[in-house]
Structure 1
């Protein structure tokens, strides 16, 4: 434990009394991914692998990029991908290109699910850095102060990209019913008051994608939900506004995974 980072120590100490054990982790500078599993599921974990892609400084620096963990649990292949994508308002295309690059370069060994999108279920989360375009700073802050978040959804760059970009087809996300998580003054719940006055944005996100199934016989038709091996239900999705040591507010989500052998639970923490 002496060589672990403070986050690993904190979550290990917090989750161990609840019956969870850390089975793997991967870190790329500030991008950290920890996987904890309840002890009762440990006999059913197989094919545990990690991977990473650096995209900062033309691929030489790990301040941007993605880290991934893949595993098989009860025979179902799951992948968890934590990304830190390029910043700034005008870099939507660069963010999407970086995501494509991560999906293309990360390959796992074995005969099944060698690519990230080949897995039965993918969780994609992190500081994805998508911004809210078009609206001015005053309108943004007034909408947020009055909890009128729905006025901002159609200008959110990730929401817009999901409608047009094939690489995002099938990704799902809960409604953004919490304040944008960027950019805050340190140790404060006030949005940026520096000279730059960065516009608030939902930069920190959690999405998931269930692999499309096809019926036997080569028809190409999708299976019905009743026949699908995995069903995902989002229980909670929100931000932790009390956190103050970063200019971001962390986002958390709780999910129920229903598989053919029973129920599993996963809580991604950013």
Structure 2
């Protein structure tokens, strides 16, 4: 949405265990018709743990603190995902909420705010930070955690400078850009009464469906800003977190492997085997990716897994890849099985080398030394 972007990067080793990814958005600008304000989000299952990331841009100006809270709550209520057990943002086990929340510092005058910043007495400003103040009043905000604001307010700066706004408006500095997180509270099985005070250990081991669940621990390692960045009138805010979790599964859904040597001089073979029953589809495909690829659609070529019938579990299927679709030069590649229903890669082969084709020199793709001889 107009100026709102959310990118998620993952190491390749994690890809087969990132499943059911979905995205959505909410417009809040001009009564919901304009996307200059609002939120974009992505959710997925990470080793069986439901995680959601949400980037937002809320209403501006000092006097709109209540409107920002209303927009925050509206986004939580209206964002829907087509997942039966986690249809809403707050259904996820972990939520990271971040962006230009636009909360300001109330009461204190410009001179006091700037002198507190210059003197390193940031703690004098915390009690008048609108988000901190609103968290004391709004129960749903109290579920979100935030690290200490031990970095200078990130708004508003002169562009390409480290000085706060010197324009005629002289906007008061504020921590507009924030990173919050929430771990889903645990609850008792449906129909059970809460335990007596002092006997709540049992409640902490159950989820809403009454089954034991693996815990997840979120630790914030750093929460800071980058003052050297000068393109915007905001300074970027960075949060570094460690997630400790017990994997609910650690086996890929599909085993994919290349057969023999691959080069563009002959058709190549691959095999795949579905290891677990899942919602496979004839629209699933296996892509050939250069190691370091950026997205599931960043393939060199692909083959459909099946034209008609889907294979049985543990059935080994062989597919052929046309030699004209195979890269001519030697590089490292990987095969990935993409599930249309799960919207993710659910099987990756080991890295393998594609050999340089004899056609590469003919087509002038091989670099030459100073004597004009092919290397």
The normalised TM-score by structure 2 is 0.61
- Alignment counterpart, residue 242 of structure 2, candidates 256, 261, 267: 256
- Distance in 2 separating the partners of 1:137 and 1:245: 24
- Distance in 1 separating the partners of 2:101 and 2:83: 29
- Distance in 1 separating the partners of 2:88 and 2:188: 22
Write out per-residue CA displacement over residues 74-103 of structure 1, whole angstroms, 9 at most, x where no aligned residue: 000000010000000010000011111111
- Distance in 2 separating the partners of 1:216 and 1:105: 26
**Which residue pairs with 2:3 in the alignment?**
30
**Which residue pairs with 2:156 in the alignment?**
183
Write out per-residue CA displacement over residues 199-247 of structure 1, whole angstroms, 9 at most, x where no aligned residue: 00000000000000124472345517xx861110000010000000110
RMSD: 1.6
Judge conservation of contact 2:22–2:43 (CA < 8 Å) in 1: yes
1:236 and 2:230 correspond = no
1:108 and 2:108 correspond = no
Write out per-residue CA displacement over residues 140-187 of structure 1, whole angstroms, 9 at most, x where no aligned residue: 000000111100011000011111102212110000000000000000
- Distance in 2 separating the partners of 1:228 and 1:237: 27
- Distance in 1 separating the partners of 2:243 and 2:189: 24
- Alignment counterpart, residue 98 of structure 2, candidates 118, 125, 134: 125
- Alignment counterpart, residue 39 of structure 1, candidates 2, 5, 12: 12
- Distance in 2 separating the partners of 1:186 and 1:232: 35
1:137 and 2:110 correspond = yes
List alignment gaps of at least 5 residues for structure 1: 1-27, 263-270
- Distance in 2 separating the partners of 1:167 and 1:96: 10
Judge conservation of contact 2:48–2:247 (CA < 8 Å) in 1: no
1:161 and 2:134 correspond = yes
Judge conservation of contact 2:154–2:176 (CA < 8 Å) in 1: yes
Quick check: which one's helix share is greater?
Answer: 1
Judge conservation of contact 1:213–1:228 (CA < 8 Å) in 2: no
Change in Cα spacing, 1:215 to 1:228, as seen in structure 2 (3 Å) is farther
**Which residue pairs with 1:174 in the alignment?**
147
Judge conservation of contact 1:45–1:74 (CA < 8 Å) in 2: yes
- Distance in 2 separating the partners of 1:153 and 1:110: 39
- Distance in 1 separating the partners of 2:141 and 2:85: 22
The normalised TM-score by structure 1 is 0.84
- Distance in 1 separating the partners of 2:232 and 2:21: 32
1:151 and 2:127 correspond = no
